[in-house]
Structure 1
Amino acid sequence: MAEDCLRLSVDVSAVPARAAGAGHYTIELVRALSARSDVDLVAVSRRDDAARWSEITGAGRVAAVAPAPRPLRLGWEQLRLSSLVGGLHRQVHHGPHYTMPERARLPVVVTVHDLSFFTEPGWHERSKVVLFRRAIRVAARRAAAVVCPSHVTAAELARWCPPVAPVFVAHHGVDAARFAPSPPPGEEDGPRLRNADPRLVAGRPLVVFVGTLEPRKDVPTLVRAFAQLRSRHPDAVLVLAGGRGWGADAVDRAVADTGSDDRVVRLGYVEDVLVPALLRAATVAAYPARYEGFGLPALEALACGAPVVTTEGTAMAEVTGDAATLVPAGDGAALADALDAELSGPPAAGATARRRRGLEIAAGYTWAASAARHLEAYRHAAATGRPGAPGRSADHPVG
């Protein structure tokens, strides 16, 4: 270990076996931190999850002590976690999913992924709204530093719960080994896609959505927009690759109401190895979400060379830049027009230039860079040992 090695603990106990969104973020961040020589990391996992995290971090870097059921785990976090990480001689603790020990004995960094629990509470179960509103308020008051994945999220945090400590904007990264325009040597996408669903054959136009089926993703609008294009693109199918979240029944109703069942491929939760194959095969990747803290799937689609249609004024627009086609949130007609343009085949020169631009943008987002930015937050927390000065919720640490 380096002489200035930072002794860090990260609470990974909230990451489910089938990770999505914030779970993927936590896994990739921990993997990148584990590769650094200037971080002495301990991952605090559930008791039944040691094997997975040992594989990610390396032997001897996991404290598998948290109970599995959420109510017990949240109580354990408040009553036991602080003394545990203190006993492990940590300098800083990171809560990567909103929560933190409220009476922590060491500096804590908290990641706030988005503010939808305040801005759009109807998108979530009531119990989660209560839990995460309180957690975000606690983090704003007591964390030694706060991490947000985008400037959009940082601005909303300042609006709803101005933090005492500084906010560090740390973008997520793209796993370039997985998300690339071509599959790894010796691998083929075709058999993998056909095994997932026989309708996913080479040359068939595919509109691909990757993400949990939940209200914020606005998949019903995507289904209705796609249904408008059936006569113009009779061979195209809409692929929904994501687990059923709270409110997924609205997607079922949209499919039934539009009579699109034979044209919508519902894969459910897909394993990590299938996602890049889907994106490489996509005629267009569609992410019409009304709100995201970051929107990693859109960036991963760019890394695979897929055209992207997403929502203006969101974090997804922030990260995809001028490589994506942007439409107003909830505007089914505009979304249908954008999908139609891609399915019809945009001018070759423009498509090539935009694809090149997308690859350039995606290459700028790495988990190594994200880990380095997080390390700035950790070092700030270790140096101050307390929340920062009031009112300084900016993108840079307070000296």
Structure 2
Amino acid sequence: MSDAPSGPTSPVRVGFDATSLLEPLTGVGTVADALLRGLAARSDVEVHAFAVSWRGRGRLADAVPAGATVHGRPLPARLARMAWAHADHPTVGALVGRVDVVHGPNFVVPPGGRAAEVVTVHDLTALRFPEMCTPDVLEWPGLLRRALRRGAWVHAVSASVADEVREAFPEAGERVVAVPNGLAPPLPEGPATDAAAGRALAGAERYVLALGTVEPRKDLPTLVAAFDALAAADASLRLVVAGADGLAADELAAAVAAAAHGDRVVRRGRVDDHQRAALLRGASVLAYPSRYEGFGLVPLEAMAVGTPVVATRVGAIAEVAGEAALLVPERDRDALADALHAVLHDPLIAERLIDDGTSRAAAFTWDAAVDGVVELYRRAVDAR
């Protein structure tokens, strides 16, 4: 590869950290995967994918799409974070050679050396709710500060997160750019993913769905309490909680055990793409009672398949959902129960949310997101 700098019409050479693609995709991994696929398909970008992982090094080639160059020089994650917390080595050049910009899509960006740096910030949970975070998540604010001192640019996934970053990290200055996520590729179609399949998975014709990793900020105990308030007068209704166990798994189990109608709460663990699609299509309503979100991809997924959404008015949820969801205050059992009741029992409200939601979801595309990220790359390179 030539060491000559990219000219005005030359492809931008991007070192892309694909570590989050090595495990089952979470929300962050889904974003990284969509960005990488969009970048790899473009002629104005030359993608060089690497992973900061020793254990997952053998899976990188399978995780990276065609069109991207895979670099198999592994770097153990723990050692890398320890080094980057105290020094600006090793740089991305040690992983992929010469690039114009390095992009860390999961809160942490390797030192760029002579390359510009872009880091994606999905939310500020580590600062706002540190008690809800694992030790590795609590490391990223310090790593971000160090990156900002090197001149890194921040890709914020919503205007809400961009504002929070500017407030928490004033040293970032004008180097914070909001580029909203797109909606993930269309959910799978077919008999295994239709509404009937979702109802079969739920074991009910009518159900409220909560979808996502069971984390403290998702506030599922308040949802269980709201469902319990509805269940006495609605014998056919079920609550389905689908997603991998996280830090709030025990809290959820305790809430279900304490509920008068806890036997009508259906707990499903991690779901694959087909099960996810089926559950979303079959649900009477998606409940998203989160205490904080930097974007909110699940509500958009529900809207895209014609499922009404009830969510909390926190973080970026109002920005993303607009008027296409019923929004309630956080941790308010009664308000959440009232909103769910309205969707379940007033067809006009449900139909309005379905129509508005379909239009709202269509406004978030990965083509637009990738365009915005490439423009950010060029700004970062020009400012270097």
| Same fold per superposition (TM over 0.5) | yes
Closer/same/farther in 2, CA of residues 142 and 76 from structure 1, 3 Å limit? closer
Superimposed CA distance per residue, residues 174-220 of structure 1 (whole angstroms, 9 cap, x where no aligned partner): 13522xxxx6367652674477x4x435xx11111111111111111
Say if 2:112 is the partner of 1:82: no
Q: Distance in 2 between matches of 1:384 and 1:369?
A: 23
Distance 2:209 2:61 in 1: 30
Q: How does 1:208-287 map to 2 (within 5 A)?
A: 208-287=209-288
Shift of 1:56: 4.1
- Count of aligned pairs: 372
Q: Is the 8 A contact 1:13 1:66 kept in 2?
A: no
TM-score, reference length from structure 1:
0.86
Once the two structures are TM-superposed, the CA of residue 221 in structure 1 deviates from its matched residue by 0.7
Aligned runs of 1:383-398 on 2, under 5 Å? 383-385=382-384
Partner letter of residue 165 of structure 2? L
Question: Which whole-Å CA distance do the structure 2 matches of 1:76 and 1:276 have between them?
Answer: 41
1:130-165 Cα offsets, whole Å, 9 max, x none, are: x02212322333343210011111111111112145
Match of 1:21 in 2: 27
Greater Cα shift, 297-306 or 353-362:
353-362
Query: Distance between the aligned counterparts of 1:50 and 1:60, measured in 2?
Result: 16
Which amino acid in structure 1 is aligned with residue 321 of structure 2?
A: T
Mapped partners of 1:105, 1:369: distance in 2: 28
Tell me the distance in 1 between the aligned counterparts of 2:379 and 2:189: 39
Identity of aligned residues (%): 36
Q: CA deviation at 1:300?
A: 0.9
Tell me whether 1:379 sits opposite 2:381 in the alignment: no
Residue 5 of structure 2 aligns with which residue? none
Mapped partners of 1:206, 1:56: distance in 2: 37
User: Structure 2 CA distance, aligned partners of 1:270 and 1:205?
Assistant: 19
Q: Does 1:7 align with 2:8?
A: no
Q: Following TM superposition, by how much is the alpha carbon of 1:365 offset from its aligned partner in structure 2, in angstroms?
A: 0.3
**1:133 aligned partner:** 141
Q: Is the 8 A contact 1:100 1:108 kept in 2?
A: yes
Distance in 2 (alpha carbons) for counterparts of 1:340 and 1:313: 21
* Match of residue 203, structure 2, among 197, 200, 211: 200
CA distance in 2 between counterparts of 1:200 and 1:65 reads: 47
1:10-159 alignment runs, 5 A limit: 10-45=16-51, 46=53, 48-49=56-57, 51=59, 53-54=61-62, 56-58=64-66, 61-67=69-75, 70-75=77-82, 79-85=89-95, 88-102=97-111, 104-126=113-135, 128-129=137-138, 131-159=139-167
Question: What is the CA distance between 1:263 and its match in structure 2?
Answer: 1.1
Paired residues of 1:54 and 1:62 also in contact (CA < 8 A): no
Native 8 Å contact 2:160 2:316 kept in 1: yes
Separation in 1, partners of 2:360, 2:89: 43
Q: Identify the structure with bigger relative contact order (alpha carbons < 8 Å, sequence gap 6+).
A: 1
Partners of 1:79 and 1:190 lie apart in 2 by 51
Q: 1:3: Cα distance to partner?
A: 4.3
Aligned residue for 2:71, secondary structure, equals: strand
Q: Deviations over 1:63-85 (max 9, x none)?
A: 133345x4135347764342225
